[in-house]
Amino acid sequence: MDHSNHQRLAEAELTDAVLTGATIYGPDDETVGSVSHVHGSGADARAVIDVGGFLGIGSKPVQVPVSSLDMMRDETGTVHGVTSHTKDQLKDLPEHHD
């Protein structure tokens, strides 16, 4: 997927309401997970990403700074993000507990 023409989200859009459900793609454009929910908002927000599993079953929630994700909208307005982490690297992070 070519993300170069996708509109990057403004800092004010980095909220739970906007980011929850967004697909997160890894460095090779593979789907690595989806945003379960977000703690905080803006540049200091932290996203909880469900990694692995199938349809949310058996996935592992991990927390990453939203600032480490490149969050954007595609041509249809769908919010998604890109990370430099692979699925395995995200799975190696500590499991997040609310």
pLDDT for 1: 77
Matching residue, tokens 């703690």 = 39
Q: How many CA atoms lie within 13 A of 12 on its CB side?
A: 0
User: Which residues are registered as beta bridge partners of 67?
Assistant: none
Q: What is the mean pLDDT of each run of 10 residues along the chain (98 residues)?
A: 90 97 94 95 95 78 96 95 94 92
Write the CA distances from 15 to 22, 45, 49, 98, integer angstroms. 12, 8, 14, 17
| Alpha-carbon gap, residue 42 to 16, rounded angstroms | 10
The proportion of the chain whose per-residue pLDDT surpasses 90, expressed as a percent, equals: 83
pLDDT for 23: 96
| Alpha-carbon gap, residue 94 to 60, rounded angstroms | 9
| Alpha-carbon gap, residue 93 to 91, rounded angstroms | 5
pTM for this structure?
Answer: 0.92
Domains and CATH numbers, the chain: 7-91 (2.30.30.240)
